[in-house]
Amino acid sequence: MFEKRFKDKLLIQRQAGLYRNPPQIEKREGKYVFVNGRKILNFSSNDYLGLGTSRELAEKVAANFKRYGASSSSSRLVTGNYSVISQAEKAFAEYFGYSDALFFPSGYQANMGVVSALFGRDDTVIFDKHVHASTVKGMELSKAEFLGFKHNSMSHLKKRLESRSEKQLFVLTEGLFSMDGDFPDLGGIAGLKKTHGFLTLVDEAHSFGALGEKGRGIGRSIADVAVGTLGKSFGLFGAFALLPEGFKEYLFNFSSPLIYSTTLPEAHAASALDALEIVFRCDAERETLRKNSLLMKEALGADGFNTCGDAHIIAVEIGDEALAASVSRNLSERGVFAFPARFPTVPLGRAILRVGISALHAPDDIAIFVESLKGAYEKARSEIRQDLHHGN
Ligand SMILES: Cc1ncc(COP(=O)(O)O)c(C=O)c1O
């Protein structure tokens, strides 16, 4: 019975152009991945500073695991509250300018663990409709009332705030949106915060490390709570929540995903500190990333592509799901990879090619990408036309 249900649902997924089937990556070398023995230039990683393949970081991480062992063997609240972890969290809090920090095994778990615990049945949470799936999952688990506002629309946010003015309100947004690649309206949110006095959570998964002075992100002026991941610019894995006074104690007592899960090992905390120290030194990489991003945006625009994105994530607008998948496939055949983001990651009928830029890229790589995309786009369109002609 399950078999038939799965088969039917997968068939519908295929017919809608939404079928997901990740390519098998044989190995990675800096900005390249190897698929079926072919070397592919990768424009879909979140390795913004190039630390994901840094020899220096890999050696430090290996030394930490050798020294501390591979597992904490306990949840944080039983015998997993190691001094090394607390010290590393203190260093993260200081670096980013918050009272406290708390590590989580992933950004997904951090958003879920923080959002589900902070809000309850009597609260109203107002969120930008383009926040990450993990934040949405956290809201669902919290049982709070949650109201979306149109992506980056301050007039809609204001309306939402006014509709619930009698309540203690919370607003959730991102430092750099993971699919649109744009910034939140910091000035707009700051103004509304003054009038309505809400608390703000900013997910800086894509901005910490890569943007702001020394990688400190862009949302500090509006954020009461921030979430960062170590799996993107930091070249590691795991995540951290940055918190005001009193929140850490609260989460220790009420965050189910934190309480009932094995804590990351000491070696991870020591490695997070090493990654932070490297991120501090990465001014040159941040500058290269900024220049690469600008170059990509200009080159795509000059060739007539409609794009969205203010920094190192650029969304090339495609629209049709099957066309986006086909463009990505044709691009791979030309030795370049960019991920086709489709529903439910983005709204239905608004599929994009999500281009992730890295400090590892050179200007020539960007020229190769744009040239390949032109060819791939034309080929994909003609394939779709032929399919329609043959009634497929
Ligand atoms: C905005 C945002 N928040 C959180 C996450 C989750 O982070 P992690 O990959 O560490 O689970 C992601 C990852 O894709 C993201 O894009």
Tell me, what amino acid is at 173? Answer: T
SS3 assignment, position 64: helix
Kindly list the protein residues whose Cβ atom lies closer than 6 A to any atom of ligand 1: 106-108, 111, 132, 134, 174, 178, 203, 205-206, 229, 231, 239
Cβ 68 vs Cβ 266: under 8 Å: yes
Reply yes or no on whether 178 is catalytic: yes
pLDDT at 17: 77
How many Å lie between the centroid of ligand 1 and the Cα of residue 89?
19
Reply yes or no on whether 206 is catalytic: yes
pLDDT bucket at 391, cuts 50 / 70 / 90 = low
pLDDT 10s digits, 10-66: 999 888 878 888 889 999 999 999 999 999 999 999 999 999 999 999 999 999 999
Average pLDDT, rounded, for the chain: 96
How many Å lie between the centroid of ligand 1 and the Cα of residue 322?
25
How far apart CA 117 and CA 138 sit, in angstroms, is 8
Residue 81 above 90 pLDDT? Answer: yes
pLDDT bucket at 168, cuts 50 / 70 / 90 = confident
The single residue listed with the structure tokens 């809400």 is: 198
Judged by phi (left if over 0) then psi (alpha if -120 to 50, else beta), residue 83 lies in alpha
Q: What is the mean pLDDT of residues 310-323?
A: 96
pLDDT at 385: 77
Residue 392 above 70 pLDDT? Answer: no
Q: What is the 3-state secondary structure (H, E, C) of 275-313?
A: HHHHHHCCHHHHHHHHHHHHHHHHHHHHCCCCEECCCCE
Which entry of 31, 130, 206, 248 is annotated as an active-site residue? 206
Reply yes or no on whether 71 is catalytic: no
User: Kindly report the CA angle at 111 between 324 and 200, in degrees rounded to 5?
Assistant: 105
Percentage of the chain beyond pLDDT 70 is: 99
Q: Which domains does the chain have, with CATH numbers?
A: 24-49+283-389 (3.90.1150.10), 55-280 (3.40.640.10)
pLDDT at 2: 87
pTM of the model: 0.95
Reply yes or no on whether 274 is catalytic: no
Q: H helices of the chain, where? A: 2-15, 55-68, 83-96, 107-118, 133-142, 154-163, 186-196, 247-254, 256-259, 266-280, 283-302, 321-333, 363-389
Alpha carbon nearest to ligand 1 atom 16, residue: 178
Q: What is the mean pLDDT of residues 264-290?
A: 98
